Amino acid sequence: MKVFNVLIVEDQSNIAEFHADFLNKTQKFVAVGIAKNIREAKSMIAIIKPDLVILDNYLPDGKGIELMKDINAKENPSDIIFVTAASDMDTVSKAIRAGAFDYLLKPISYDRLEDSLNRYLSYKSTLESTDSVNQKYVDLMLNYQSKAGETGENLPKGIDQLTLDKIKAIFSDDEVIHTTDSLLLEVGISKTTARRYLEYCILSGFLQAEICHGKIGRPERRFRKKTVAK
């Protein structure tokens, strides 16, 4: 299981420790360091090469927004969740242009941070799931950065928008066929979860199921995108 290393850049030690404790309670993120200023952050980034940086803007020796530009100028830049008390549009615009994956306002809601981390996981998983992309994959990856917890459908309990989007992206090609077992390997979910999402996609009219009779064993259900009659 891939675990993402996270560097926290925050000059207030109590806040930094809260971030670290929160991350270390997750299964897929671990806080690998805390930097109190830009100088420390640059040194630690060069040594640790974190996957993700939770970056505060107002630091004792400068602004995080400038460090963000430096990070993104590297050959293999870390992804960044930008944190600041500044709510002015100019700072938001600069952070977006500098390449922030997400933008969180202080005081941080940890529900909102959790949402950001979940979207980041989906983003990375989608990015690594294929060597080639189509427009739907591109749109999906951009959506992970723009959603901020919004949902496009009125979903029933047990159906998460991010997981649903990923499954729909997998079935974006009419020729793609999956069984429950092959889908759970593709998405990284349990068999029970895969079945739940497949049944939802059938009920919502996105997928159709076909019965395949093999030579040995029970008939197998295969799923593909539902064709629309022309």
Statement: 4-121 belongs to CATH 3.40.50.2300: yes
- What pLDDT score was predicted for residue 203? 83
Residues near 130 by beta carbon (within 8 Å), at least 6 away in sequence: 137
Alpha-carbon span 219 to 96, nearest angstrom: 50
pTM of the shown model: 0.62
Domain boundaries, the chain: 4-121, 151-225
**Average of per-residue pLDDT values in the chain:** 84
Alpha-carbon span 212 to 214, nearest angstrom: 6
pLDDT in tens, 146-185: 554 444 456 777 787 778 888 888 887 778 999 999 999 8
Which CATH number does 151-225 carry? Answer: 1.10.10.10
Question: 3-state DSSP helix/strand/coil percent for the chain, to nearest 5?
Answer: 45, 20, 35
CA-nearest of 101, 140, 98, 129 to 117 is: 101
Alpha-carbon span 162 to 165, nearest angstrom: 5
Domains 4-121 and 151-225 share a fold: no
Band (pLDDT 50/70/90 cuts) for residue 134 is low
- What pLDDT score was predicted for residue 148? 47
Which residue do the tokens 């009219």 mark? 205
Helix/strand/coil for 88: coil
Which residue do the tokens 């293999």 mark? 76
pLDDT in tens, 50-100: 999 999 999 999 999 999 999 988 888 999 999 988 767 788 778 888 888
